[in-house]
Amino acid sequence: MEYYKDEPSLLLAVDCIIFGFDGESLQILLIKRGFEPEINNWSLMGGFIQPSESPDEAAARILNNLTGLANVYMEQSAVFGKPNREKHGRVVSITYFALIDSKKYQQILSDKYQANWFPITDYPKLIFDHVEMINTAKRQLRSKAALYPILFELLPEKFTLPQISSLYEAVYDIVIDKRNFNRKLLSSNLLIKLNEKDKENSKKGAFYYILNKEIYKDQIMSFLRYLPSWSAQDLDK
Amino acid sequence: MEYYKDEPSLLLAVDCIIFGFDGESLQILLIKRGFEPEINNWSLMGGFIQPSESPDEAAARILNNLTGLANVYMEQSAVFGKPNREKHGRVVSITYFALIDSKKYQQILSDKYQANWFPITDYPKLIFDHVEMINTAKRQLRSKAALYPILFELLPEKFTLPQISSLYEAVYDIVIDKRNFNRKLLSSNLLIKLNEKDKENSKKGAFYYILNKEIYKDQIMSFLRYLPSWSAQDLDK
DNA sequence: TCAAAAGTGTTGACTGTACACCCATGT
DNA sequence: ACATGGGTGTACAGTCAACACTTTTGA
């Protein structure tokens, strides 16, 4: 630090916005904060970046400590750093958003950890600027998902066509014509049909599909052009 | 700081990737760094976040100090924070990208400041991880511009149709059919035709247009669907 | 008069959109 | 047998994509 010794240092934190999907609606994972200040109030999962780790590593560590989750899709979202966003001192926070299949972890989370899923449309009061963080992440999720097929990260490995359309309906808050959407989806070659049906959600049963990983890896969702004439308001809400 | 006093603090910097367009090709603004370490080597404009300012304010201040520019389109790009990205101590850097009409500032910049425009395809060796920062910003610029009409920020207030298509050709590194592109552009109602021609670049002269700010404000570039079947590789280069 | 860039129109292919019915099954 | 959700087909409309020539004017 010989050169920079006169520069002001500060605390750098990470907060994770964890989106989940249970087959019906979009959810968000929150915890009762485990340390002061604001202990026991609902909050995003957060923590401080340690000297030995990058922000990405910190986000993965924090997520793992607080929920047991690992190997989850996660990406940098935004930086929140207004001087007074925390009253107790200068803390700048980098947010990350994660996408997971919330059904897979429902039990583990509430048993071992103080974490709980809430509907994205109705969650408790949060500390600091965490609501703003969630809104920013939601906006980014929509933009990103308009170009890349990342929403599949919210589904189980085997999923059905009705599940995908519900997912898109939940994320963009729109109504989708399933006939057209399914056609578009299938013509993308992203999906491989299995000889197996999900009988949980209907009597007839819906065929399972899995992702064609080869194509998925770096595919742009041109098929998403199907979504009806967006306006910027739609994406920015 | 009563609660967080045991947490590790660090230095938070801001680096600005300033994209410019001169009517022909995409450029980037670099300076000879004015302080140690790495003094006098080419670098992005950077500096440390001060206690009284948000990251956004720091970015604007640094840009203004080093170039005289103000009121420029700027947005957060990404965070770079691997523990050893700078050898002289732990510094995490938030990058911003800015878009400006480079012709407007050509003289001022090289006279009063140590700043210089370079082609985005050919610039000098940079310090630290600044090349990676530029590549990330380029990728984000492409994604963002595929959904929002932000590239107009790179043009002067009055611009011509040939200028817009050159701009899109430069940003996406593609060849555009001007007949189709112009038609699409005009049908978006984003442009207002002036009764005045730019005679600098051709003998016949090209009509000037200005943006229809009302529509521009929150318009999605659905017209950009014109761009030929992108693949993720195209956007990610 | 020639060179250089601006501007303009048409057609066929494709993709998007709107719309309604039958299917398979568990109860 | 009926209620529930899954799946399929067609026709019209709109957008995209490919294509070449004329216009203007300064040198």
CB atoms B92 and A55 under 8 Å: yes
pLDDT of residue A147: 78
Query: What pLDDT band is residue B176 in, cutting at 50, 70 and 90?
Result: confident
Structure tokens at A131: 């609501």
With a CB cutoff of 8 Å and minimum separation 6, the contacts of B216 are B149, B152, B190
Question: How confident is the prediction for chain B on average, in pLDDT?
Answer: 87
Best-predicted range by mean pLDDT (A223-232, B35-44, B175-184): B35-44
Which string of DSSP letters, residue by residue, matches A103-117? GGGHHHHHHHSSEEE
Which comes out higher in pLDDT, residue A217 or B36? B36
Q: Which of B8, B53, B88 sits opposite A50 (nearest CB)?
A: B8
Query: What pLDDT band is residue B227 in, cutting at 50, 70 and 90?
Result: very low
Determine the Cα–Cα distance for residues A62 and A29; give it in Å rounded to an integer.
13
Query: What pLDDT band is residue B219 in, cutting at 50, 70 and 90?
Result: low
Contact, A145 vs A227, CB < 8 A?
no
Q: Which of B4, B52, B229 sits opposite A222 (nearest CB)?
A: B229
pLDDT of residue A144: 85
Choose the weakest-confidence range: A82-86, A188-192, A219-223, B62-66. Answer: A219-223
Determine the Cα–Cα distance for residues B147 and A140; give it in Å rounded to an integer.
12
Tens-place pLDDT, residues B137-151: 998 998 888 778 889
Tens-place pLDDT, residues A7-64: 999 999 999 999 999 988 899 999 999 888 999 999 999 999 999 999 999 999 999 9
pLDDT, average across residues A115-129? 95
Structure tokens at B182: 């112009």
Determine the Cα–Cα distance for residues A150 and A190; give it in Å rounded to an integer.
12
Question: How confident is the prediction for chain A on average, in pLDDT?
Answer: 87
Partners of A216 on chain B (C-beta within 8 Å) are none
Select from A59, A89, A91 the least CA-distant residue to A72. Answer: A59
Q: Which of B10, B83, B231 sits opposite A220 (nearest CB)?
A: B231
Residue B234 has pLDDT above 80, yes or no: no
Residue A161 has pLDDT above 80, yes or no: yes
Structure tokens at A170: 């939940």
Contact, A154 vs A173, CB < 8 A?
no
| Whether B205 CB is under 7 Å from strand D | yes
Query: What pLDDT band is residue B221 in, cutting at 50, 70 and 90?
Result: very low
pLDDT, average across residues B14-27? 94
| Whether A87 CB is under 7 Å from strand D | no
pLDDT of residue A195: 95
Residue A104 has pLDDT above 90, yes or no: no
CB neighbours of residue A42 within 10 Å: 18
Determine the Cα–Cα distance for residues A129 and B137; give it in Å rounded to an integer.
26
Nucleotide C27: closest residue by CA–C1': A203
**Class of residue B233 by CB neighbours under 10 A (exposed 0-12, middle 13-18, buried 19+):** exposed
Partners of B143 on chain A (C-beta within 8 Å) are 143-144, 147
Say whether pTM exceeds 0.85: yes
* In chain B, beta strands by DSSP E: 9-21, 26-32, 42-43, 45-48, 73-80, 91-101, 115-119, 159-160, 191-198, 206-211
Partners of A11 on chain B (C-beta within 8 Å) are 4, 7-9
Residue B192 has pLDDT above 50, yes or no: yes
With a CB cutoff of 8 Å and minimum separation 6, the contacts of B119 are B25, B26, B27, B28
